[in-house]
Structure 1
Amino acid sequence: MNNQNINIIPIKAMKDNYIWAIIKNNMAIIIDPGIAEPVIKFLKAKKLKLIAILITHQHYDHINGIYELQYQYNPIIYGPRINNILVKYNFVKNNEIIYIEQINIHVKVIHTPGHTIEHVSYLISNNNDYLLFCGDTLFSAGCGKVFTGTMEQLFNSLKIFSLMPLNTKIFCAHEYTLKNLKWAIEVDKHNQLLIQYYNYILNFNDPNMTTIPSSLKLEMLINPFFRINNISIINSVKKYINKSINSPMSIFIELRKWKDNYK
């Protein structure tokens, strides 16, 4: 599943969305087009042919651009089986390998429920790197809220990610990094690398900054949801809920609740 000469470019959209463009040989794959206009503008500016769309889940800010893009470019569309995509598309399943023949790219489908029950992520190998397009399952220093999935599903989905190679690059679908880091420091206040990274991102001083992709190596060191066995985080959670808990699942669930209530 080794693909070469791939370029990944973010197309910023709406308030904080990333629509990802995978480019090779003047052709493009678009991931989660929540709106069509910036994608069309990008494709025209770069003189690219849209050949495929990959969808991670059902939320409007990931799918609403499909219809105009299909009308103008007629790409192949892939995604999980959901009811609110009103065009014909190819249903994907866990561990399926999608082969996009025009540019000789193999994409592995990974079912990663939790944020939504049908959520999938896409993994591509590029030379010596792995590229993970994880939608709203994982963010830098955070993870997705639970909507139609369950906490247990989200826990298990992040566990799948944690077992991937450390050089995996993380392409999530939103720019939430700074806010997530502020919360993460409250949870993991003695983590010097986390503090250093927060200060680094803070010093960007640019409302249009792009902090993504992250890497699995970095996330394993700064993301509280990957550090649920760390004693400092366990103690922070116990103090926050004023109750003694120890199981990794319980710590994870309370962390997610904490993040949900964080302002």
Structure 2
Amino acid sequence: MLIISPIPAFNDNYIWMFHSPDSRDVFVVDPGDARPVEQILNRHDLNLAGILITHHHFDHTGGITELTSNRNIPVYGPDNQKITGITHPVRDHDTVELSACQFQILSTPGHTLDHIAYFTDSGEDKKPALFCGDTLFVGGCGRLFEGTAEQMYSSLLRLASLPDNTRIYCAHEYTQANLTFARAVEPNNQKLQEQVMLVAGLRSENRPTVPSTLRKELDTNPFLRSDQPEVIQAACDRDPSSSASPIDVLRVIRAWKDNF
């Protein structure tokens, strides 16, 4: 079991911190900025025991050098020379034990080619937890900066196969914008309407909308619903040349979202 907390960074990033309830040794995921991490460590008298990286973008890696300058700690991440400071490269299907929990490494290309996610079946409250970086967001998915729609579809399909009660710890507070787009794609989705109202209440109080659950994303996130009739119809209306296959639907709605 873990205690998992968000550390806000930049305008909308979340650096995730986790540790065992009986330990002051913590791990952080995607520290793009060292300063807020150091502030939390000092405020709560915690010890940084390691770092997890999901992909090479600087807003996820920028704090590695400073956080490790005076610490001899492991840095787990993709086997990518673009990332300075990785001490423990990990690959698809690898497992690592952190804070007495076993994490499985999942390759999730699409947003970037090197993207990975970390999954454990014993996260907070003993519920499954997924640190998915920028592959899957609440109500959305990452832009296709390096990968293809086919790669992203395969990655999302893989995440969709995890247990329904998996908590989704993504790296950005993009939820309101994502759900505004989701409503354009699927205006008749009642569960989506309920999610919009819930998120509006949270953000009005400046509270995080993350984590979500996989079940909620399967019900409301159009990028996990590219095989659903209303999503298919929206994609075909947007691009009449679409083949209506799930991969092509994802391609169309991702391009639509890019310019929404």
Q: Do these two structures clear the TM 0.5 threshold for a shared fold by scoring above it?
A: yes
The Cα of 1:81 is off from its aligned counterpart by 1.4
Which position in structure 1 is the counterpart of 2:191? 193
- Cα deviation, 1:119-170, whole Å, max 9, x if unaligned, reads 0000112164110000000001100001122221111000001111100000
Alpha-carbon distance in 2 for matches of 1:205, 1:65: 27
Change in Cα spacing, 1:35 to 1:205, as seen in structure 2 (3 Å) is: closer
* Match of residue 10, structure 1, among 3, 6, 9: 6
Counterpart position of 2:115: 119
- Using the size of structure 1 for normalisation, the TM-score is 0.93
Structure 2 Cα separation of the partners of residues 88 and 246 of structure 1: 41
Report % sequence identity. 38
Displacement, 1:237? 1.2
- The whole-number CA distance in structure 2 between the counterparts of 1:253 and 1:172 is 21
Question: For residues 66 and 249 of structure 1, do their structure 2 counterparts lie closer, same or farther at Cα, with a shift above 3 Å needed?
Answer: same
CA distance in 1, matches of 2:74, 2:6: 20
Is the 2:131–2:168 Cα contact (8 Å) retained in structure 1?
Answer: yes
SS of the residue corresponding to residue 29 of structure 1 reads strand
Distance in 2, Cα, partners of 1:244 & 1:216? 27
Q: Which stretches of structure 1, 4 residues or longer, exceed 4 Å deviation after superposition?
A: none
Residue pairs, 1:45-64, within 5 angstroms: 45-64=43-62
Gaps (5+ residues) in structure 2? none
In structure 2, the residue matched to 1:104 is 100
Q: What is the SS of the residue equivalent to 2:202?
A: coil
CA contact (8 A) 2:75 2:88 kept: yes
Task: Give the Cα–Cα distance (whole angstroms) in 2 for the partners of residues 205 and 53 of structure 1.
Answer: 29
Q: For residue 222 of structure 1, what is the aligned residue in structure 2?
A: 220
1:142 to 140, 143, 159: 140
Q: Choose the corresponding residue for 2:255, options 254, 257, 263.
A: 257
CA contact (8 A) 2:77 2:86 kept: no
* Structure 1 portions without partners, runs of 5+: none
Q: 1:183 to 1:41 in 2, by over 3 A?
A: same
SS in 1 for 2:68: helix
Per the alignment, do residues 87 and 230 of structure 1 end up closer, same or farther by CA in structure 2, a change over 3 Å counting?
closer
Q: 1:163 to 1:257 in 2, by over 3 A?
A: same
2:208 equivalent in structure 1: 210
Question: C-alpha distance in 1, partners of 2:214/2:202?
Answer: 22
Describe how 1:144-183 pairs up with structure 2 within 5 A: 144-183=142-181
Please give the alpha-carbon distance, in whole angstroms, between the structure 1 residues aligned to 2:257 and 2:230: 17
Equivalent position of 2:131 in the other structure = 133
Question: Aligned partners of 2:95, 2:85: CA distance in 1, in Å?
Answer: 22
Letter in structure 2 aligned against 1:233: V
Amino acid at match of 2:154: N
Task: Name the SS for the 1:175 alignment partner.
Answer: coil
1:244 Cα deviation (Å)? Answer: 5.3
Provide Cα deviations, 1:202-257, integer angstroms capped at 9, x if missing partner: 23353732000000000000000111111111111111123453211111111111
**What CA distance in whole angstroms lies between the structure 2 residues aligned with 1:116 and 1:176?**
18
Partner of 2:35: 37
Residues 187 and 89 (structure 1), Cα distance of their counterparts in 2 relative to 1, 3 Å cut:
same
Name the CA distance, whole Å, in 1 between partners of 2:41 and 2:144.
33
SS in 2 for 1:72: coil
RMSD across aligned C-alpha pairs, in angstroms? 1.4
- The alpha carbon displacement at 1:88 in A equals 4.9
